[in-house]
Amino acid sequence: MTLASIEKVPPRTVAEVVVANIVDREGMIDRVEIAGPGYVNFFLKKSYWTSVLKDAAGMGDGYGQADIGEGKSVQVEFLSANPTGPLHIGHGRVAAFGDSLANLLKAAGYNVQKEYYINDVGNQMETLGRSTYIRYKQMFDPGIPFIQDGYKGNYIRDIAQEIITDAKDRYLHLPEEEAIPFFIEYSKNNILNGIRKDLEDFGVLFNNWFSEKSLYDSGEVEGVLKALKEKGYLYESEGALWLNTTLFGDDKDRVLVRSTGQKTYFAPDIAYHQNKFKRGFHLIVDIWGADHHGYEPRMRAGVQCLGYPEKNLKVILVQLVALLREGKPVSMSTRSAEFVTLREVLDEVGKDAARFMFLTRRPDSHLDFDLDLVKKESSENPVYYVEYAHARIVNIFRQAEARGIPEPSLSDVDLSLLDLPEEIKMMKLIALYPEVIESSALALEPHRITFYLQDLATALHNYYFHHRVITEDRRLTEARLILMRGVMQVLRSALAILGIRAPERM
RNA sequence: GCGGCUGUAGCUCAGUAGGAUAGAGCAAGUGACUUCUAAUCACUAGGUCGCAGGUUCGAUUCCUGCCAGCCGCGCCA
């Protein structure tokens, strides 16, 4: 239809010319039809679909793996929540997204590294340590007032209690300035361990935990400042040191060193990105909460100031999660301790349902997470629909085995016996899977896998309800078992990308 | 005020490199289990794709303006 306007002939005429010139070297085309205003529809022979099924059933986990990545290395940095409190539900969305994206890129042939950046420097660490310190002192003298901007969550009391169990009143007798560093370190480690545990139970394992403090210790922060100065991008004003980010499209210049002499968080962040580039990643993916979107232009500018190509930096913003309880919004703030933790969601809803929930939405869609609703729908949650499809197939194989029908070898099964529309439908979906992997990876959109899975599960349930795999006809049964093998293989592979289990029975 | 994201069925959401009759789940209604698992299946109903212009043979998709919601706009992180 695009050609039609260039050639100035009706689109159907163009279609006729195209159809007349089709060469079918592999003999896979059954027929071609021109439809509507000028669409050309290709109908492929059944032998093509059965040959794809043979591939899928034979290749095992390798089926669907793409090679668009060509082994290039990608780093996906995500979550990187400040170690000042437990992960909450919003973190869960970012974690599910980042982890699945990494799995997806792996399936598409990239060499992927998952990294968590620990903000273990700065005022918030100070506040954290002081919060625990005061709670500790309050255990001995409840009259001591809490600090104004301290972290109010109960987990701070728990940490203080732990310290008392260990050290009794030892820190009570130290001058405050000597005690605080211990409280900072202890609280940070305690909270990080909790975060690690929560993520592990959520199915998220990082390859690397990168400490912000290490950038100071190694001199990289100073080094970056020096490099930027030599390149002439730094200037002093009002006693502070500024980076000329407006040169690269930011709407104002940014402070790197405050007039107090303290560095802003932006300085180590540039050093961090330099460090990433130096590690040789072909692509660097930063996944942030959408509340940080204003930060992207300055980060891009910082990268360009150092002379790195900003096109190798991809920033994905994940919209925040608005939490509802019985339809009413609940405000969330780590400091005020009003939040639902990821742990609570894991305990109440489960890892699979939570991950699926997060992954059925585009990262830039706003998400209302109604706890009561998710709990209520738990048995009707689409995740179980997909898992059930897998469990049903496994059960068929159990039944077949019990009846003495072993899974046939691919070489002597006659797949041309698969003739039902429902069977063709499943073969087409299996054939689509590699394309889904490729396009999802290119778009960096793991949620497409979720929707594909629901389509595949629908096809399976529909088939299962109307037909039987194990029949009196041995040859037909064998062909159908291979079809089930193919569907099961794809279900497993796709669920693995989402980080959701494929249960053997339900 | 400026910027980002979003607005599609009663609800929660897919879908657009511009193209055929806009899809799914839930909720609603009607049906289906002596069979390999009913956490399932079939059918029905449900839409001015936020509003108004523009570009185009053709716009839910691209452009402009407006409206609504959320989020940013520090020498905080």
Nucleotide nearest to A454 (CA to C1'): B24
Nucleotide nearest to A263 (CA to C1'): B75
Choosing from A362, A378, A394, the residue where a domain stops is A378
Residue A203 is predicted with a pLDDT of 96
Q: Is residue A252 part of a domain?
A: yes
Chain A span 228-247 residues with beta carbon within 7 Å of strand B: 237-240
| Claim to verify: residue A364 and residue A239 sit in the same structural domain | yes
The percentage of residues in chain A with a pLDDT greater than 90, rounded to a whole number, is 74
DSSP secondary structure of A147-197: PTT----HHHHHHHHHHHHHHTTGGGSS-HHHHHHHHHHHHHHHHHHHHHH
> What is the CA A106 to C1' B49 distance in angstroms?
36
Q: Is residue A314 part of a domain?
A: yes
List, for residues A65-105, the tens digit of each pLDDT value.
988 899 999 999 999 999 999 998 889 999 999 999 999 99
What CA–CA distance (Å, rounded) separates A236 from A244?
10
Nucleotide nearest to A253 (CA to C1'): B75
Q: Is the C-beta atom of A379 closer than 7 angstroms to strand B?
A: yes
Residue A15 is predicted with a pLDDT of 86
What CA–CA distance (Å, rounded) separates A187 from A225?
31
What is the pLDDT confidence band of residue A220, given thresholds at 50, 70 and 90?
very high
Question: For chain A, what is the mean pLDDT?
Answer: 91
| Claim to verify: residue A158 and residue A38 sit in the same structural domain | no
Q: Which domain holds residue A18?
A: 2-44
| Claim to verify: residue A358 and residue A433 sit in the same structural domain | no
Residue A446 is predicted with a pLDDT of 95
| Claim to verify: residue A367 and residue A392 sit in the same structural domain | no
Q: Is the C-beta atom of A294 closer than 7 angstroms to strand B?
A: yes
| Claim to verify: residue A95 and residue A137 sit in the same structural domain | no
| Claim to verify: residue A60 and residue A38 sit in the same structural domain | no
- The answer to whether residue A440 scores a pLDDT higher than 90 is yes
Residue A370 is predicted with a pLDDT of 76
Q: Is the C-beta atom of A360 closer than 7 angstroms to strand B?
A: yes
Which residue minimizes Cα–C1' distance to B3?
A: A294
Is there a contact between A278 and A271 (Cβ–Cβ < 8 Å)? no
Residue A349 is predicted with a pLDDT of 84
What is the pLDDT confidence band of residue A336, given thresholds at 50, 70 and 90?
low
Q: Is the C-beta atom of A471 closer than 7 angstroms to strand B?
A: no
| Claim to verify: residue A394 and residue A435 sit in the same structural domain | yes
Is there a contact between A385 and A457 (Cβ–Cβ < 8 Å)? yes
End-to-end CA distance of chain A: 50
What is the pLDDT confidence band of residue A168, given thresholds at 50, 70 and 90?
very high
CATH number for the domain that contains residue A490:
1.10.730.10
Q: Is the C-beta atom of A443 closer than 7 angstroms to strand B?
A: no
| Claim to verify: residue A393 and residue A360 sit in the same structural domain | no
Residue A338 is predicted with a pLDDT of 61
Query: Which of A18 and A475 is assigned the larger pLDDT?
Result: A475
What is the pLDDT confidence band of residue A12, given thresholds at 50, 70 and 90?
confident
Q: Is residue A503 part of a domain?
A: no
Q: Is the C-beta atom of A293 closer than 7 angstroms to strand B?
A: yes
Q: Is residue A338 part of a domain?
A: yes
Q: Is residue A505 part of a domain?
A: no
| Claim to verify: residue A479 and residue A409 sit in the same structural domain | yes
Q: Is residue A483 part of a domain?
A: yes
What CA–CA distance (Å, rounded) separates A371 from A417?
48
List, for residues A25-52, the tens digit of each pLDDT value.
888 999 888 887 788 888 899 999 999 9
Q: Is residue A504 part of a domain?
A: no
CA angle A123, A128, A129 (to 5 degrees): 100
Is there a contact between A46 and A416 (Cβ–Cβ < 8 Å)? yes
CATH number for the domain that contains residue A267:
3.40.50.620
- The answer to whether residue A228 scores a pLDDT higher than 90 is yes
Nucleotide nearest to A212 (CA to C1'): B77
The number of CA neighbours under 13 Å toward the Cβ of A62 is 4
Helix or strand (DSSP H, E) at A426:
helix A421-443
Q: Is residue A244 part of a domain?
A: yes
Q: Is the C-beta atom of A22 closer than 7 angstroms to strand B?
A: no
Choosing from A166, A201, A236, the residue where a domain stops is A201
What CA–CA distance (Å, rounded) separates A148 from A400?
68
| Claim to verify: residue A147 and residue A216 sit in the same structural domain | no
| Claim to verify: residue A363 and residue A412 sit in the same structural domain | no
Nucleotides of B under 7 A from a protein CB: 3-7, 12-15, 19-21, 24-27, 32, 35-42, 57, 69-77
For chain A, the domain total comes to 4
List, for residues A109-164, the tens digit of each pLDDT value.
999 999 999 999 988 999 999 999 999 999 999 999 998 888 988 999 999 999 99
List, for residues A265-324, the tens digit of each pLDDT value.
999 999 999 999 999 999 999 999 998 999 999 999 999 999 999 889 999 999 988 877
> What is the CA A168 to C1' B73 distance in angstroms?
47
- The answer to whether residue A330 scores a pLDDT higher than 80 is no
Choosing from A378, A402, A437, the residue where a domain stops is A378
Amino acid (1-letter code) at residue A270: I
Residue A328 is predicted with a pLDDT of 67
What is the pLDDT confidence band of residue A335, given thresholds at 50, 70 and 90?
low
Q: Is the C-beta atom of A376 closer than 7 angstroms to strand B?
A: no
- The answer to whether residue A337 scores a pLDDT higher than 60 is no
What is the pLDDT confidence band of residue A381, given thresholds at 50, 70 and 90?
confident
**Mean pLDDT across the stretch A480-497?**
96
Helix, coil or strand: residue A113: strand
Cα separations (Å) of A445 from A20, A364, A402, A489? 38, 11, 41, 22
| Claim to verify: residue A227 and residue A91 sit in the same structural domain | yes
Q: Is the C-beta atom of A372 closer than 7 angstroms to strand B?
A: no
Reported for A218-227, long-range contacts at CB under 8 A and 24+ positions apart, including other chains, are A220/A271, A220/A274, A220/A275, A221/A263, A221/A267, A221/A268, A221/A271, A223/A271, A224/A267, A224/A270, A224/A271, A224/A274, A224/A306, A225/A256, A225/A257, A225/A267, A227/A306
The number of CA neighbours under 13 Å toward the Cβ of A58 is 11
